[in-house]
Amino acid sequence: MARAKRCPFCGHKLDEEGWCRNKDCADYIRTQTHDAEKAAESSMAKADGDSAQSDASK
Ligand SMILES: [Zn+2]
């Protein structure tokens, strides 16, 4: 079994992708950046030819 990795900055348990989820951690800014990039990617993918549907679904 793989042992959960821990953040080298705060010792918080990392998520399955290796990102620290401790909001008080100095490394959390990288997690946020990563999340923002991921969100931008998925929203771009959604906007690609699917923009009309998101209006209709509300
Ligand atoms: Zn941390």
Give 20's strand partners.
14
Instruction: Find out whether 5 and 18 touch, Cβ atoms under 8 Å.
Output: yes
CA of 25 to the centre of ligand 1 (A): 4
> By C-alpha distance, which of 1, 20, 4, 3 is closest to 12?
20
Model confidence band, residue 5 (pLDDT cutoffs 50, 70, 90): very high
Domain boundaries, position 30: 1-50
What distance in angstroms lies between residue 12's CA and the mean position of ligand 1's atoms?
Answer: 5
| pLDDT at residue 47, rounded to an integer | 79
Q: Is residue 56 part of a domain?
A: no
Q: Is residue 31 part of a domain?
A: yes
Provide the strand spans (E) within 1-58: none
Structural domain contains residue 5: yes
Q: What does the pLDDT look like over 12-57, one tens digit per residue?
A: 999 999 999 999 999 999 999 999 999 999 999 887 766 555 565 5
Residue 58 is assigned to a structural domain of this protein: no
C-alpha 3 – ligand 1 centre gap (Å): 17
Dist. CA 42–CA 18, nearest whole Å: 20
Q: How many domains does the chain have?
A: 1
55 assigned to some structural domain: no
Q: Is residue 57 in some structural domain?
A: no
